[in-house]
Amino acid sequence: MRIAVLNGPSLNLLGSREPAIYGTVTLADIERRLAEVADELGVAVDCAQHNGEGELIDAVHEWRGRADGALVNAGAYTHTSLALRDALTAVAVPFVEVHLSNIFAREPERRVSMLAPAARAVVCGFGATGYEWALRGLVGSLGGVARG
């Protein structure tokens, strides 16, 4: 089973600013942990990060025939991008929307997700660990092994 992991704008800067909201873990740390969990679950993960909306959409299009599921943290595009939702809907790869912060406890403009209606599930507010829960949940829901 192949799982794509897609992160959006500025998530490459994780760990360097706003630790009170986003924690001190870097994106490289998150990707390393996901690789460990993927090994445990017997699946493959392929991680990418892009700052541009078009690049994110291109990355989603690349999943056709290559990914069985995906984790998506689209950053601020979560709240604005119908284009990204259209791409996710078009490729029909089941995905879990992930956020480090609890977007529903933040400013009103962050409480809306354009992507959630197309998502299999949403995990938010657990910080970096949320990616791990999302991977376990997604693999479980796709019929793979999901432990603890």
Question: What is the set of active-site residues?
Answer: 22, 99
Helical (H) or strand (E) element with 83: helix 82-91
For 17-30, letters b (16+ CB in 10 Å) and e give eeeeebbebbbeeb
Residues 28-87 that bind ligand CA2 (CB under 6 A): 73, 75-76, 78
Q: How far is CA 66 from CA 46, 63, 70, 122, in A?
A: 10, 5, 11, 22
Q: Shortest Cβ distance from residue 42 to ligand CA2 (Å)? A: 27
Residue 110 lies near ligand CA2 (rule: CB under 6 A): yes
Part in contact with ligand CA2 (CB under 6 A); list of ranges 9-17, 33-41, 81-89, 132-140: 9-17
Hey, is 50 helix, strand or coil? coil
Residue 16 lies near ligand CA2 (rule: CB under 6 A): yes
Nearest to 51 by CA among 73, 69, 35: 73
The binder of ligand CA2 chosen from 3, 4, 5, 14 (CB under 6 A): 14
The binder of ligand CA2 chosen from 3, 5, 22, 70 (CB under 6 A): 22
As a whole number of angstroms, the distance between CA 38 and CA 105 comes to 30
Total binding residues for ligand CA2 by CB under 6 A? 17
Task: Give the residues lining the site for ligand CA2 (CB under 6 A).
Answer: 10-11, 13-14, 16-18, 22, 73, 75-76, 78, 99-101, 103, 110
